[in-house]
Amino acid sequence: MNNKKNTLILGSSGMVGSAIVRKLQNSKNTLLTPSHKQLDLINQKQVFEFFGDNKVDEIYLCAGKVGGISANSNFPMDFLYENLMIQTNVLHAAFRNNIPKLIFIGSSSIYPKDAPMPFKEESLLSGALEKSNEAYAIAKIAGIKFCEYANNIFSKSRKQYLTLMPANLYGISDDYDPSNGHVVASMISKMHNAKINSKDLILWGTGSAYREFLNVDDLSNACVLIMNKKFQELKELPFSHINVGSGVEISIKSLAEILSNIIGYSGDIIFDHSKPDGMKRKIIDSSIMKSLGWEASVELVEGLEQAYQDFLKRDI
């Protein structure tokens, strides 16, 4: 039997997409990894033409506009528009072309700010969102609901679209923009620059907020595991979205202290209390994902060391 598939990875140059490419590069599958120049996902016509011209068996939808609290706070319209357009075009085209399997990458920011902690999948749409990343969360929720509605239609055809909701991501191929990057990537960039310029490091908030961090290679393992599950193994899942987290939370202040040891930064770390912390605590319940045979394996310190080495390779 020939099990070779055509696997479409959208966002293949980003952190999540490139991790999935690394995971699958030695598989039997043919990997389709169109760049933004080859396929503009915001352009509906281009997306539908691509699906018409290419045979696709499964999709990893990793493309989207991402960033940290600063970017989300300053550019909410961009986060809402770009993510809605990208995911709606791809999900609609996949549905219309009868693509049987799709994994959409969501975010733990979808959960209401006052939902019981750790967040469970059932908390979706049970309350108000955290304002600092509301636009991004609304876009992701729309994608989750598209997958849910598609699965209801697909219930008898053995097709399935699922969304994985990772904790705060970090790792190889992250965007180390000091202003708009994820928490870890932004802090690495700021701290490294403070070190080489012998300056104090100024970080947003009080440092007291707690976050759960997940290495991107752990997420890629979860993605491929779920994609390779048979329909029968997943059809009884209570939700179309599944949490993926390490289960370990740490304060932003403690994260900064660990990174200072890794980077060799000995200057002062100053927290700007005039800037927001975002949610005081954010950790997710990954019981469903673990019941399917997945566990996070990358220890935080090990992963942060890898991330800093990745930053150094790309630092000019």
Give the DSSP per-residue string, 29-91.
SEEE---TTT--TT-HHHHHHHHHHS--SEEEE--S----HHHHHH-HHHHHHHHHHHHHHHH
Active-site entry in 136, 170, 176, 210: 136
List Cα–Cα distances, 103 to 58, 139, 240, in angstroms. Answer: 8, 16, 10
Q: What angle, rounded to 10 degrees, do the helices at 300-314 and 183-196 form?
A: 60
With contact defined as beta carbons under 8 Å apart, do 311 and 189 qualify?
yes
With contact defined as beta carbons under 8 Å apart, do 17 and 60 qualify?
yes
* Among the listed residues 57, 52, 42, 55, the one whose alpha carbon sits nearest the alpha carbon of residue 87: 42
Strand partners, 31: 7
Q: Which residues contact 149 (CB under 8 A, 6 or more apart)?
A: none
- Our CA angle for 62, 25, 88, nearest 5°, is 20
Strand partners, 87: none
Q: Which pair of tokens denotes residue 43? A: 């352009």
> What is the C-alpha to C-alpha distance for residues 151 and 162, in angstroms, rounded to an integer?
9
Is 170 known to be catalytic?
no
Instruction: Just list the catalytic residues.
Output: 136
